[in-house]
């Protein structure tokens, strides 16, 4: 049997060089372990990295693999201050999105990735959603680009519930399908 949970290694320099810090659980404050993060190795699990302490700021979702420089995880800079292991659930994926707050207006149910939401949904604005199964990522732009927002199982009555500043969603991806 494989290890339960996840393991991630942060490196201060590019290409897995410099001071390293290994982590296997949620960590609300990473600055005591390293001052900057330029590369990451995800040994197991799916992780969300945050640019600020206490799971705040820009989010970056990483699955198993190697990221030799911060641009590989679409990072804006070398600042990572907290991280959390993503609870992906049973392996099933079901999501309902709505074009109005409070689960009103046009609804669309998803169970697969959507690289260009505007091709399937009347508009690019998602004002509320209900994650029925799995973990999902909303991207600001089509083809999984731009700001990322992690959504785990639960109800999100308005876009501010997933920490977005506006309701624009360009693409949607299941966390386990990177």
Q: Is residue 78 part of a domain?
A: yes
> Considering the domain boundaries, does residue 15 fall inside one?
yes
Number of domains within the chain:
2
pLDDT attached to residue 123? 74
Residue 152 sits in the same domain as residue 109: yes
Pairing status of strand 94-100 against strand 128-133: antiparallel
Strands across the sheet containing 7-13: 17-23, 7-13, 39-44, 65-67
* CATH code of residue 120: 2.60.20.10
Residue 144 has a pLDDT of: 95
Q: Which residues constitute the domain of residue 29?
A: 7-85
For residue 2, being part of any structural domain is answered with no
169 and 101 in a single domain? The answer is yes
> In the prediction, which pLDDT does 3 show?
42
Last residue of a domain, one of 85, 106, 135: 85
Q: Are residues 105 and 61 in the same domain?
A: no
pLDDT tens per residue across all 178 residues of the chain: 334 578 999 999 999 999 999 999 999 999 999 999 999 999 999 999 999 999 999 999 999 999 999 999 988 889 999 999 998 777 789 999 999 999 999 999 999 999 999 998 877 799 999 999 999 999 999 999 999 999 999 999 999 999 999 999 999 999 985 5
Spatial contact of 103 and 128, defined as CB atoms under 8 Å apart: yes
> What pLDDT sits at residue 10?
98
The verdict on residue 124 lying in a domain is yes
pLDDT of residue 122: 76
Q: How far apart are the first and last CA of the chain?
A: 23
Tell me which of 57, 85, 113 is where a domain ends: 85
Same domain, 156 and 118: yes
Do 39 and 106 lie in one domain? The reply is no
CA-only gyration radius of the chain, Å:
16
pTM of this structure:
0.86
């Amino acid at each position: 049997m494989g290890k339960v949970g996840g393991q991630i290694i942060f490196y201060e320099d590019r290409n897995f060089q410099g001071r390293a810090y290994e982590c296997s659980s949620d960590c609300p404050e990473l600055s005591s372990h390293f001052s900057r993060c330029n590369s990451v190795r995800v040994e197991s699990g799916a992780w969300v990295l945050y640019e600020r302490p206490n799971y705040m700021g820009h989010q970056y979702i990483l699955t198993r693999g190697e990221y030799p420089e911060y641009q590989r995880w679409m990072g804006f800079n070398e600042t990572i201050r907290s991280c959390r292991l993503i609870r992906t659930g049973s392996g099933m994926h079901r999501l309902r999105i709505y074009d109005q707050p409070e689960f009103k207006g046009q609804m669309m149910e998803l169970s697969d990735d959507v690289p260009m939401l505007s091709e399937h949904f009347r508009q690019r604005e998602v004002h509320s959603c209900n994650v029925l199964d799995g973990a999902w990522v909303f991207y600001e732009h089509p083809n999984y680009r731009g700001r990322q927002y992690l959504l785990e199982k639960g109800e999100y009555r308005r876009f501010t519930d997933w920490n977005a500043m506006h309701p624009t969603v360009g693409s949607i991806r299941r966390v386990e399908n990177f």
